[in-house]
Amino acid sequence: MTNLVTVDVQRVSPGDGNAPGSIGGIDVDTGQEVTFKAWPDMLAKFQSHKSFTFEWYLGKEYKGVQDMIVSKHGEVREVGSAVSQSNGSHSPVEAPPAPKATIQVVTPSNTPQGVMTSSQGTKERTITCLAIMKSVIESGGTEADFDRWLAKHDSVVFSK
């Protein structure tokens, strides 16, 4: 099964010989840093500082690591890039405008979301931290990414 993703590619690194290389960048939907492995024929379709939409799948787990791999059977399509200008020069990416208002959703405590957010005792806090940590590790994130997502969680749940 494949998934579709759009990535602002920051780096394209070839592999040794015919080994897969890697594509690193930011998933435009989640804002998370991601790394995908790609075989040489697919790797050639990517360029740094451009955005691409492509299909990917989870590779076989090896020594506790499960790679995300660019699908050879899907189309790699360049999409509008926030960093490229028509004259070929590069400029910093502008941050999107801040939202004008925030919406606070009140969730009943007997729903799955309500159970996760209603009472933040030690056990619930540990479960939340582990879930965020797992997601960050699986996507190739850093400790700083974990801290950022945990802070985001806390700001939503505790209205900070």
Mean pLDDT across 68-86: 75
Per-residue 3-state assignment (H helix, E strand, C coil) for the chain: CCEEEEEEEEEEECCCCCCCEEEEEEECCCCCEEEEEECHHHHCCCCCCEEEEEEEEECCCECCECCEEECCCCCCEEECCCCECCCCCECCCCCCCCCCCCCCCCCCCCCHHHHHHHCCCHHHHHHHHHHHHHHHHHCCCCHHHHHHHHHHHHHHHCCC
Task: Give the model's confidence band at 160: pLDDT under 50 very low, under 70 low, under 90 confident, else very high.
Answer: low
Round to whole Å and give the CA distance between 33 and 16: 23
Q: What are the tens digits of pLDDT across the range 10-67?
A: 999 998 887 899 999 999 989 999 999 999 989 999 999 999 999 999 888 878 888 8
Global pTM value = 0.49
Give me the chain's average pLDDT, please.
77
pLDDT of residue 49: 93
Round to whole Å and give the CA distance between 71 and 1: 10
pLDDT of residue 108: 53
CATH number of 3-79: 2.40.50.140
pLDDT of residue 156: 73
pLDDT of residue 81: 55
Residue 107 predicted with pLDDT over 60: no
Mean pLDDT across 86-105: 49
